[in-house]
Amino acid sequence: MNIGTVLASRRDGKSHSREEIEFLVRGCVDGSIPDYQLSAWLMAAYLNPLNAQETAWLTLAMAGSGVRLDLSPLPKPWVDKHSTGGVGDKTSLVLLPLLASCGLTVVKMSGRGLGITGGTLDKLASIPGFRTDLSPSELVAQAARIGIALTGQSPELAPADKVLYALRDATGTVSSIPLIVSSVLSKKLAGGAETVVLDVKCGSGAFMKNLDEARALASALRDAAEICGLKTRIAVTDMSRPLGSAVGNALEVREAWPVLAGVQGMCLPTMRFRGLCLDLAAITLAASGIVEDEAEGRAMAEIALSSGAAIRKGREWLCAQGAAEDAIVHPERLPISPVQVTQACPHAGYLAGIDAGAVGEAVVELGGGRKKKTDTVDPSVGVCLLRDVGESVAEGDPLFTVHAASDDAAREAACRVLKGVSWSSEPVEPAPALIERL
Amino acid sequence: MNIGTVLASRRDGKSHSREEIEFLVRGCVDGSIPDYQLSAWLMAAYLNPLNAQETAWLTLAMAGSGVRLDLSPLPKPWVDKHSTGGVGDKTSLVLLPLLASCGLTVVKMSGRGLGITGGTLDKLASIPGFRTDLSPSELVAQAARIGIALTGQSPELAPADKVLYALRDATGTVSSIPLIVSSVLSKKLAGGAETVVLDVKCGSGAFMKNLDEARALASALRDAAEICGLKTRIAVTDMSRPLGSAVGNALEVREAWPVLAGVQGMCLPTMRFRGLCLDLAAITLAASGIVEDEAEGRAMAEIALSSGAAIRKGREWLCAQGAAEDAIVHPERLPISPVQVTQACPHAGYLAGIDAGAVGEAVVELGGGRKKKTDTVDPSVGVCLLRDVGESVAEGDPLFTVHAASDDAAREAACRVLKGVSWSSEPVEPAPALIERL
C-alpha cells in the first residue's frame, strides 16, 4: 500500500478499500503521510465524495486513531448530543443537565466557536472558574459522580480528525458532507456514547443554508452511523433566525439558566428555544429507552424543569467543574458589557424575518465570536432579540438590544442586525424550530 | 486576495483571474503559501482543469518567477526543442548539433529521466567529462561562441515550476494537461527561446498512451503558446515502439553519433530514427525562417549530415562542455556493460510490434533508468533492437541484444522485451515515426 495509489484512486473517483482508509488515517497520526499529500487527498475527496461505506470506514478509523473513552463504569444509558452549529444555539446548556436530571449519563466533548456559529465551550467559559479542560479520566470520574460532564476536545481522542480538520480548514474542504460526517461521528464514537442526538441546523445562520443541504447531511449522518453501529436520532432544525433571544456567550448562559429553572413568562424567542429543548429531550429520552415514547419523554422533561430537578443538576454540574458559587446562583452577575443600546422598530407590521446570518455576523464583529482560531472572544457582548418572527409590532417598539464594548460598536451592530430584519403587511407564519426528523 | 478564495474558486470550477494565478505563483516562490495549500490547489486543478487562458497566465507567471535567460547577445534565430519523453528518444543528440551546424543558435535545458522515459541529460552524462551543470551565464557564453549549449535545469529559471512539479509528483497530479503545458512552456519561455519545436510522443513508451491524449496535449500546447506569444511547431510522433535501435544511455550516444556523422548502411530502426531527426530539422529550419520551406530545410539538413558539418559541430559542442577527447573521437569506447546477450527470434513471421513500454521497463530494471529520483543510473546497460516492425524474420534471426551487468539481469530483461514483441503471419505496415503535425 502506498499513498500514491490511494491518491490516484480518489482522484479517479474509484472506491477505497477499508485498508486504504486505515492506511491513510494511520499516516495522519504517525506523520508518515505528509500534509501536502493529505491535503491533496482531501481536495480529491471533496470533488469525488466518499460513499456511505467509505465514510463509515473513515469514521471508524478516526475513532480508533487515539484513546476511546471507556464509559463502562457509568450507569447506562449513555447519551451525547451534537449540533452542527448555529446562531444563539445554547441548547446544550439546558438539554444536558435536563437529561442528566432524568437519569441519563451525559458525557460530552464540545468545541469552540468559529465564524458566526458559536461554541458551547465559549458560552460555558464565560462563567468564572468553569473548567473546560477535564482530562478523559476526570471526565469519566465526574460523570460517575453526578451523571454529567463536559470538556473541550481532547487531543487524545480521534487525533486523526484533528489533523484532517486543520488541513480541511486551510484547504477549502470543510464543507464536504462525508468529511463532516466522519469528523462528527468519529468524535462521538471515541467519546464512548451509546445514543447520540444530532441536531442538523438549517438556514442562513448555519453551515447548511437550505433544507436540501441539511437533509443531505442528515441522511449521510444516519447512513454512516448505522454502518458504524451507533444509535442516533437526527433532527433538522431551523436556523433561518437565531435560536432564542440571546446571541453572545454570557448572554446565552443568562438566557438558558431561567429556562432550566422552569421560570415562566419569558419572551417569545426564549419560549421557542425552550420548546426545542423539550423536543430534543423527548427524542433523547425515548431513544435511550428510559421512557416508552416521546410523549412520555416530554412529560418527564417538563416535570424536571418545573420541579427544580433540572436546575439543581445544572448547578451541581457547574459546581463540579469549578464555576464560582456566585455565578451559579446569580447568573445575572456574569460579565456585562459597558454599553447596552436598545433598537426601536422602524416600521409597523408583522415581523417576517430576523436573519440569523446577519445577527451572527454582528456578534462576531462585536467581538463575541472568532474570525480566526487564535482570536479571543469577549464574553459580555452580543444581541438580545426582544420580539420574534410572526409578531405584530408597532413603530418604536423595542426590537432588540445590543451589548457592546463601545457606542460605535453598538451602532454598527444594530445596523447589521436591522439589515437582516424584514417586515410584512400580512400575517406571517413563523417556521417551527423543529423542521423534521430522521 | 487570499489563498482561501483562490482554492474555493478552483474547487468550484470557476475561472481564475490573472491576479489570482500570479498570487499563487508568487506564493510558491516566496513560501507564503504552504505546500499543503498548493497541493490542494493542484488536485482541484487536476479535477477542474485550467482553461487555455488560465494555462497561459500560469505559464507566464511561472516563466517570470525567476531569472529569464537573455539571449540578445546571440545571433538569431534562437531555437529550442522539447520532447515529452519516450523510450530510445535520443533525438536531441542529433538534432541540436545538426541545427547549430545549419546556423541556428541552440540553447537548451534538459531534464534527467524518470521511469521508462529517458532523459537527454543522462545520455550525455555517459560521456566521460561532459558537464551538465553550466550556469546561465556559461550557457549563454558558450552559445555565443559555438552556437550550441545545453545544461541541466537551473534552479534559477522558473523556480515556481520546480516547487509545483515536486508537489505534482507527490500528489498524483502530474498528468493534468494544463499543468504539463505550463510546466513545459514556462521553462522554454524562461530559457529565452524564440522558436520551439515540441515533440509530443504517443504510445506505450510515452506519457500519452494514445493518439487522442497526444492530440489533446499537442493542441493545449499550441493554444497556450499562442497566447504567450511563443512560436512553436508541434509534432505528434510514434512511441508505440522504441525510437531507433538503442535504449540505454551510452548505447544511445553510440547510436546517435554515426547518424550525426552521416554514416550509411545502418539497421532499419536507426534509419527510422534518422528519418525523424531530418523531419524535425526540416520543420525547425523552416519555422525559424532560415529556409523557404521544409523541403529546402530537409535538403539543408541532409547536406549538413553528409558533409561532416553536423558531426564537426557535435564534436565542438562536446569538447566545449568538457567531454574527454577520446570519448568524442571514439564513441565506441563509451562505458560497456560486462554482459551482452543476443536474443534469437523464437518465431518466423512479420514483426508486428515491439512494445516501447516493455523495452523501457526492461531497461529501467537493468539499471539504465530511475524508479525514483534519487536512484543512480548505470550508463552502460540497455537494449539494442536489431530488427524493426514490418520486417520479415526467420526463426533464429538475431532480434535484439541486451547489455547487462550480469547474466541473470540479461535473461530477465530479454524475457521482458520478448513479452512485448508480437508477430504476424501477414505483412505489417509499420507506423510512421511522425504521425501528424499541428
Q: Are A98 and A309 in contact (CB under 8 A)?
A: no
Is A371 at the interface with chain B, CB within 8 A? no
CA distance to A204, B65, B366, B408, per residue, from B341 (Å): 74, 49, 13, 11
Is A397 at the interface with chain B, CB within 8 A? no
pLDDT bin (cut points 50, 70, 90) of residue B327 is confident
Question: Any bridge partners for residue A237, and if so which?
Answer: A201, A434
The whole-angstrom distance between B5's CA and the closest CA on chain A is: 8
Give CA–CA dist A431/B393, Å, rounded. Answer: 84
Report residue A432 as a C-alpha cell.
417551527
Point out the residue among B38, B44, B171 whose CB comes nearest to the CB of A7: B171
Q: Which of A110, A126, A183, A337 is catalytic?
A: A183
- 10 Å CB burial of residue A367 (0-12, 13-18, 19+) is buried
- Which residue, chain included where needed, has cell 447548511? A208
Please indicate whether residue B438 or residue A53 has the higher confidence score (pLDDT).
Answer: A53
- Average pLDDT for B74-87: 94
pLDDT, position A193:
85
pLDDT, position A264:
86
pLDDT, position B332:
83
pLDDT bin (cut points 50, 70, 90) of residue A154 is confident
Q: Are A206 and A85 in contact (CB under 8 A)?
A: yes
Give CA–CA dist B100/B145, Å, rounded. Answer: 11
The whole-angstrom distance between B263's CA and the closest CA on chain A is: 46
Can you state the percent helix, strand and coil of chain A, rounding each to 5? 50, 15, 35
pLDDT bin (cut points 50, 70, 90) of residue A391 is very high
Please indicate whether residue B265 or residue B417 has the higher confidence score (pLDDT).
Answer: B417
DSSP state of A392: E
Q: Which of B165, B160, B147 is nearest to B100 (CA)?
A: B147
DSSP state of A345: P
- Check A40 against B40: CB less than 8 A apart: yes
Point out the residue among A7, A36, A46 whose CB comes nearest to the CB of B36: A36
Q: Which of B16, B82, B108, B315 is catalytic?
A: B82
Q: What is the mean pLDDT of chain B?
A: 95
Point out the residue among A35, A40, A170 whose CB comes nearest to the CB of B172: A40
Q: Which residues contact A237 (CB under 8 A, 6 or more apart)?
A: A86, A199, A200, A201, A202, A243, A276, A433, A434, A435
pLDDT, position A329:
85
Report residue B435 as a C-alpha cell.
504521425
Is residue B168 annotated as a catalytic residue, yes or no?
Answer: yes
Q: Are A232 and A222 in contact (CB under 8 A)?
A: yes
Point out the residue among A4, A36, A172 whose CB comes nearest to the CB of B39: A36
- Check A171 against B7: CB less than 8 A apart: yes
**Identity of the residue numbered A331:** P
Instruction: Give pLDDT tens digits for B129-176.
Output: 999 999 999 999 999 999 999 999 888 899 999 999 999 989 999 999
Q: Are A314 and A102 in contact (CB under 8 A)?
A: no
pLDDT, position A118:
81
Give CA–CA dist B397/B353, Å, rounded. Answer: 16
Over its C-alpha atoms, chain B yields an Rg (Å, rounded) of: 22
CB-side neighbour CA atoms (13 Å) of B378? 18
Is residue B82 annotated as a catalytic residue, yes or no?
Answer: yes
Q: Is the pLDDT of residue B264 over 90?
A: no
- Check A37 against B171: CB less than 8 A apart: yes
The whole-angstrom distance between B364's CA and the closest CA on chain A is: 20
Q: How many other CB atoms are there within 10 angstroms of residue A33's CB atom?
A: 21
Q: Is the pLDDT of residue A142 over 90?
A: yes
Q: Is the pLDDT of residue B114 over 80?
A: no
> Phi and psi at residue B298, in whole multiples of 5°?
-65, -40
Give CA–CA dist B436/B438, Å, rounded. Answer: 7
Please indicate whether residue A328 or residue B272 has the higher confidence score (pLDDT).
Answer: B272
Report residue B193 as a C-alpha cell.
527561446
pLDDT, position B83:
95
Q: Which of A414, A344, A356 is nearest to A381 (CA)?
A: A414
The whole-angstrom distance between A375's CA and the closest CA on chain B is: 18
- Check B44 against A47: CB less than 8 A apart: yes
Point out the residue among B40, B42, B170 whose CB comes nearest to the CB of A172: B40
- Check B37 against A4: CB less than 8 A apart: no
Q: Which residues contact B154 (CB under 8 A, 6 or more apart)?
A: B67, B109, B135, B136
Is B13 at the interface with chain A, CB within 8 A? no
- Check B40 against A173: CB less than 8 A apart: yes
Q: Are B303 and B262 in contact (CB under 8 A)?
A: no
- Average pLDDT for B247-257: 96
Q: How many other CB atoms are there within 10 angstroms of residue B403's CB atom?
A: 28
**Identity of the residue numbered B12:** D
Q: DSSP string spanning B314-369?
A: HHHHHHHTT--HHHHH-GGGS---SEEEEEEPSS-EEEEEE-HHHHHHHHIIIIIS
**Identity of the residue numbered B241:** R
Q: Find residues 131-190 of chain A whose CB sits inside 8 Å of chain B.
A: 167, 170-173
Q: Is the pLDDT of residue A113 over 80?
A: no
**Identity of the residue numbered A389:** V
In this structure, the strands spanning B421-424 and B349-354 are: antiparallel
Dihedral of the alpha carbons of B319, B322, B327, B328, in degrees to the nearest 10: -10
Is residue A347 annotated as a catalytic residue, yes or no?
Answer: no
Query: Listing from the earlier edge strand, what are the strands of the sheet with A195-202?
Result: A148-152, A105-110, A78-83, A195-202, A231-238, A434-437
pLDDT, position A373:
80
pLDDT, position A333:
85
DSSP state of B112: -
Interface A-B, measured as beta-carbon pairs within 8 A, has a size of: 74
- Check B43 against A38: CB less than 8 A apart: no
Chain B residues closer than 8 Å to A39 by CB = 36-37, 39-40, 43
Q: Are A20 and A1 in contact (CB under 8 A)?
A: yes
Is residue A16 annotated as a catalytic residue, yes or no?
Answer: no
DSSP state of A150: E
pLDDT, position B117:
84
- Give which of B20, B35, B38, B171 to mutate to test A binding, by max A Cβ within 10 Å: B171
What is this structure's pTM? 0.88
pLDDT bin (cut points 50, 70, 90) of residue A101 is very high
Is residue B392 annotated as a catalytic residue, yes or no?
Answer: no
Find the closest chain B residue to A34 by CA distance: B36
Find the closest chain B residue to A44 by CA distance: B43
Chain B residues closer than 8 Å to A47 by CB = 11, 43-44, 47-48
**Treating both helix axes as pointing N-terminal to C-terminal, what angle do B159-171 and B52-63 enclose, rounded to 10 degrees?**
120
- Which residue, chain included where needed, has cell 487562458? B53
- Average pLDDT for B334-352: 96
Instruction: Give pLDDT tens digits for A297-308.
Output: 999 999 999 999
Q: Is the pLDDT of residue B113 over 80?
A: no
Point out the residue among A36, A42, A47 whose CB comes nearest to the CB of B167: A36
pLDDT bin (cut points 50, 70, 90) of residue B208 is very high
Q: Which of A187, A233, A272, A370 is catalytic?
A: A187
Chain B residues closer than 8 Å to A43 by CB = 11, 39-41, 43-44, 47
Is A33 at the interface with chain B, CB within 8 A? no
Q: Is the pLDDT of residue B212 over 90?
A: yes
Instruction: Give pLDDT tens digits for A197-208.
Output: 999 999 999 999
What percent of chain A shows pLDDT beyond 90? 90
What percent of chain B shows pLDDT beyond 70? 100
Q: Which residues contact B287 (CB under 8 A, 6 or more apart)?
A: B195, B197, B231, B233
